[in-house]
Amino acid sequence: MTIDTGFRVQTLAAALTEWMPVASEQRELRLEYLDFLDARGASALARDGGPQHLTASCFVFTPKLTHTLLCFHKKGRFWVQLGGHIEADDASVASAALREAREESGLAGLTLIDDELTNPTPYDLNRHALAAAFGRCATHWDVGYVALAEADATPEVSAESEAVAWWPIDALPSQLPDRFGDRLHTALGELRARS
C-alpha cells in the first residue's frame, strides 16, 4: 500500500511546528527543516527525490537510560543509531523510524516512546553530508525518534549491518559518526525534559 506522500509531509510539518526543542541548535534546525519541507514538498521524503532528502532514525535506550542500541553501518563503517530511508508504505516519518529500528535490531516488539500519539514529535534533527560510499545520496536530513527496550533484549544483525549491540551511554565505541555523542545527548535531553 502506498501512502499519500503529501499527507506525510503535512504531518511532519505539523509536528515540527508544534515542537519547541530544548536545545537552541535544534530550534534553529527545526526552522530549516520546515523551510526544506515547504520548498521540496513530497520529494523531500523520497530517496530518489534528489541528493538531499529526509531519513528517519530511532535512538533505542534501556528503561533506565543507561545503554543505547547501536548498529555497525556497512557503508559508513561506524556505529550509529538505527534508521534509514522512508519507504512508500510508511504511514509517517515516525513509522519509518520504527520500521527501520525493528528491521535492523530484530526486536519486533519495539515501540516509539510517543507511539500512542497520532503524530509523534521528533527528539533530534541532524542534517549531515555523506561520503561517496553512499552513492547518489549527498545529504541526509535525519529525523530522530526514541524507543525503549529491555536491556536483556537480544538484538539480531540485519542485512544492512555488520553488528548490533548495546553500549553504555558513558562508554560509547570509538568508531562513531562526527558529533554522534551530541546527537545522543540531545535525544536524551529531550526525553528527560518530556518526562
Tell me, what CATH number does 51's domain have? 3.90.79.10
* Amino acid found at 114: D
pLDDT for res 15: 95
Buried b (16+ CB within 10 A) or exposed e, 149-167: beeebebeebeebeebebe
Residue 170 · residue 3 · CB < 8 Å: no
pLDDT for res 102: 94
Indicate whether 2 pLDDT > 60.
no
Q: What does the pLDDT look like over 167-182, one tens digit per residue?
A: 999 999 999 998 999 9
Provide the terminal-to-terminal Cα distance of the chain, rounded to the nearest Å: 35
- In whole angstroms, give the CA distance from residue 54 to residue 154: 29
pLDDT for res 115: 74
Q: Which residue has the higher pLDDT, 185 or 159?
A: 185
* Amino acid found at 176: L
Indicate whether 60 pLDDT > 80.
yes
Indicate whether 186 pLDDT > 90.
yes
Task: Please name the residue that has the C-alpha cell 529526509.
Answer: 54
Integer angstrom CA distances of residue 177 from 46, 67, 82, 94, 172: 23, 18, 13, 22, 12
Please state the rounded mean pLDDT for residues 30-47. 93
What is the tally of structural domains in the chain? 1
- In whole angstroms, give the CA distance from residue 124 to residue 26: 7
Q: What does the pLDDT look like over 112-168, one tens digit per residue?
A: 998 777 789 999 999 977 665 556 777 889 999 999 998 788 999 887 678 999 999
Q: How many helices (H) and strands (E) does the chain have?
A: 4, 8
- In whole angstroms, give the CA distance from residue 181 to residue 171: 10
pLDDT for res 64: 94
pLDDT for res 132: 55
pLDDT for res 3: 61
Domain that holds residue 59: 5-194
pLDDT for res 113: 92
